[in-house]
Structure 1
Amino acid sequence: MTDITTGTLRVASWRASRLPRRGALGRALVYGLAVLVALFSLRYVLGLPPVPDGIALNRFRLFWLVLHASAASIALLLGGIQFSVALRVRRLGVHRWIGRVYVVTCLIGAISGLVLAIGTSAGPIAGLGFGGLAVAWLVTNALGWQRARAREFASHRRWMMRSWALTLAAVTLRIYMPLFEVLGVPELLGYRVIAFLCWLPNLAIAEALLARERHRATNRPALVRIW
């Protein structure tokens, strides 16, 4: 019995030791993609092509596009850093200031994104999808900021995970667009689908991760008592 128990504990320990590594690799991959997309999106700020035809000739929409791209790019560069435990423990002041900049850029990105979604040349369906993303982005960041100010840090972290999932819509959008093109999906249809697909699955994954965390937290005391 002792050997079996010891063996089980060794297997559990072996698996547990690899979970953080897998998680770290996954976070590094996601953040690497976020950085690449952020740098690519900065072309709007620098006035580099290509710029969508429906926006290039419209100074009003071009202004909002540059504002949106600038804010979203900064959010992409900063968001992934905030989940570093080392940063929160050793440099809490830095974490807070980065968080403030992240939230402000997300709010600017959400508002400018909502303006762009209204009257998009892709039609009302795409406008509804991207508009929903903008509203969800606005709400998650506002609630995350409010929870931090109220010192409800566990709730703050959950809302910021949802916010980061929505920020990553910029990454998933750029994954789906060439994929749909390869699959031969008509451009307008694909764009309308991607308007929802770029963020709803991200949010669902964030909720699944949060549910797994709650499940582990609930079962942890029982596991400790058995050991």
Structure 2
Amino acid sequence: MFLVSVGFIVYTSMPYLDRETAPLMPHEGFSPYYSLLMAHIVFGSVALLLSILQVWPWLRHRYPAVHRWGGRGYVVSTMVAGTLGLVIVPFAPPVGKVGVTVATVLWMAFTVMGYIRIRQGRRAEHRRFMLYAFAMVMNNLWGSLVILIGTALALQIDANYYLETIRWIGWVINLMLVQWWLNRTADRPVR
């Protein structure tokens, strides 16, 4: 999963490295747009990679200090990436804007709640909220994959419906899978 995520980050970020050829949304009158977008991409990428390390049981059990420090890095990178995402989302196309905004707010809320719960020593609730946050950050990977598949298959679907669906389906399915997993593993002790 880590390697797939690195591939995803490289593939989706490369077009934005050159400001002159980057596929930017219209942002007239908002000069910091490109800088904020790049910071969003960098911090979002860090959050994505750290989230994978955070859910790796071997690392959590073998090196709890690495898990704790990685978790702090994840929280900071999520808050920065999410805030920047909310600042630049007004420049996104109208189709899917609500889905992106809801996903970003939920991602940040789940992350904050997970952090609060671990500070309170409530590990089971910490696990639940952080798995929800993991589902939200993995939404980005799903969305890009669905776009690639749809483009490759040349589906005859109205682009507006397709893009709107992509902005919702990834994180909704991810949350359903996480809830199924939590229900399935509810009897296991939290270490």
Whether TM-score is above 0.5 comes out as yes
Match of 2:128 among 158, 165, 175: 158
- Take 1:65 and 1:83, find their aligned partners in 2: how far apart are those partners? 27
- Take 2:25 and 2:73, find their aligned partners in 1: how far apart are those partners? 31
Q: Are 1:39 and 2:10 matched, yes or no?
A: yes
Amino acid at match of 1:172: W
Contact 2:15 2:23 in 1 (8 A): no
SS in 1 for 2:25: helix
- Take 1:62 and 1:113, find their aligned partners in 2: how far apart are those partners? 12
Q: CA deviation at 1:131?
A: 0.3
Q: Hey, what does 1:223 align to over in structure 2?
A: none
SS in 2 for 1:199: helix
Q: CA deviation at 1:200?
A: 1.4
Range with bigger deviation, 38-47 or 126-135: 38-47
- Take 1:33 and 1:160, find their aligned partners in 2: how far apart are those partners? 21
Q: Hey, what does 2:33 align to over in structure 1?
A: 61
Q: CA deviation at 1:79?
A: 1.0
Q: Closer, same or farther in 2 for the Cα pair 1:64/1:186, shift >3 Å?
A: farther
Q: Hey, what does 2:115 align to over in structure 1?
A: 145
- Take 1:56 and 1:36, find their aligned partners in 2: how far apart are those partners? 28
Q: Closer, same or farther in 2 for the Cα pair 1:109/1:44, shift >3 Å?
A: farther
Q: Hey, what does 2:181 align to over in structure 1?
A: 209
Aligned residues: 186
Q: Deviations over 1:176-209 (max 9, x none)?
A: 1122222133333322221112311111111111
SS in 1 for 2:157: coil
Q: Closer, same or farther in 2 for the Cα pair 1:48/1:54, shift >3 Å?
A: closer
Contact 2:25 2:91 in 1 (8 A): no
- Take 1:129 and 1:163, find their aligned partners in 2: how far apart are those partners? 16
Q: Hey, what does 2:60 align to over in structure 1?
A: 88
Q: CA deviation at 1:77?
A: 1.4
Match of 1:170 among 128, 137, 140: 140
- Take 1:81 and 1:134, find their aligned partners in 2: how far apart are those partners? 21
Sequence identity (%): 24
What are the ranges of 5 or more consecutive residues in structure 1 without an aligned counterpart?
Answer: 1-29, 219-227
Query: Which structure has the larger Rg over C-alpha atoms?
Result: 1
Q: Closer, same or farther in 2 for the Cα pair 1:101/1:47, shift >3 Å?
A: farther
Q: Closer, same or farther in 2 for the Cα pair 1:211/1:184, shift >3 Å?
A: same
What are the ranges of 5 or more consecutive residues in structure 2 without an aligned counterpart?
Answer: none
Contact 2:139 2:174 in 1 (8 A): yes
Q: Deviations over 1:104-123 (max 9, x none)?
A: 11111111222232342x21
SS in 2 for 1:116: helix
Q: Bigger relative contact order, structure 1 or 2, given CA contacts below 8 A and separation 6+?
A: 2
Amino acid at match of 2:116: Q
Q: Normalising to structure 2: TM-score of the pair?
A: 0.85
Match of 1:126 among 90, 96, 101: 96
- Take 1:36 and 1:212, find their aligned partners in 2: how far apart are those partners? 31
Q: CA deviation at 1:217?
A: 4.0
Task: Please give the root-mean-square deviation of Cα atoms over the aligned residues, in Å.
Answer: 2.4
More helix by share: 1
Q: Normalising to structure 1: TM-score of the pair?
A: 0.73
